[in-house]
Amino acid sequence: MVILQGFTKGIVKTDYNTFIQCFHDCDIGMKKISISVLLFLVCVYSVSAASSDSISTVYQNGAFVTQYTIKIKYLPKVTAEVADYLVTDFHTKPGNLFNWALKDLGLQNKSNELIIVFRDSNHDIKTGITHGKFDVVVPNFTTFSNIKVDAIVAKTKYSNGVTKVKANIVYSSLLLKNALGTLSIVPQQNNEQLLITNVTIQFGWFFNLFITQKRYKSIVEWRIKKFAENIKAECERRQSEIVNQK
């Protein structure tokens, strides 16, 4: 695919004679071209055939970028209410998030490498910033107390029906250098939606050393997946209540 991409750029920038000369000058046999075409087609097919329930993480420019996608099927009214509930709780009762959206995200199991303990928070209505404090426990090593994290969380409803809840970390005293999380609810047919969670994290200097690419999956990635599953569970609970009331 890389060969084809570079080759295409060359064709665009040159005339016919130079293009013919490239075939004589380049030591690229037809077999290599055929293999490149085959690889390109396989990549395109793999993307289009990928399951709607998937998670992937890449590491680029010092940041981890994770996307988790699941397909859900609930009334638009239900998913809209859950999105509102998420933002409202974050602003007014962030501790309550650990009862549903962030449920079971603090402790993993006995082999957990990182434990997050929520302390307190307050929301500044004028600036839209929520100021929070956390303890981060690294078992058998140390505890970082009262880590300050400032975040702006807001919901946007677009004309195409897509709803996005965005959490932007604007300050962190130690844990994070930069972080941005987006929860998107994308309408599909027959009351189906794609629940897409995108998270970009660049850790502070210490945690950047501690959380390697290998550790990221066991420390962070599972939490992103669990968060989306918790959102789905809340949608399920609310829709069940509607059905039972009929």
**Could you say which residues of the chain have pLDDT below 70?**
1-52, 106-112
Same domain, 125 and 44: no
Same domain, 110 and 7: no
- Report DSSP state, residue 95: G
Same domain, 94 and 140: yes
Closest CA to 163 of 192, 191, 196: 196
Tell me how many helices (H) and strands (E) the chain has.
7, 8
Number of domains composing the chain: 2
Same domain, 36 and 140: no
Same domain, 42 and 88: no
Cα–Cα distance, 156 to 231 (Å, whole number): 17
Q: For 190-199, what is each residue's pLDDT tens digit?
A: 889 999 999 9
Same domain, 27 and 61: no
Distance between the two ends of the chain, CA-based, in angstroms? 55
Same domain, 28 and 98: no
pLDDT at 80: 96
**pTM for this structure?**
0.75
pLDDT at 86: 97
Q: Which two tokens stand for residue 208?
A: 């950047």
Same domain, 157 and 234: yes
Q: For 177-187, what is each residue's pLDDT tens digit?
A: 999 999 999 99
Same domain, 41 and 69: no
The CATH number of whichever domain residue 129 belongs to comes to 3.30.530.20
How many CB atoms lie under 10 A from the CB of residue 37? 13
Host domain of residue 118: 54-245
Same domain, 33 and 60: no
How far is the CA of 238 from the CAs of 15, 40, 228, 243, in angstroms? 63, 44, 16, 9
Q: Give the DSSP H or E segment for 99.
A: none
Cα–Cα distance, 231 to 85 (Å, whole number): 10
Same domain, 14 and 75: no
Same domain, 12 and 101: no
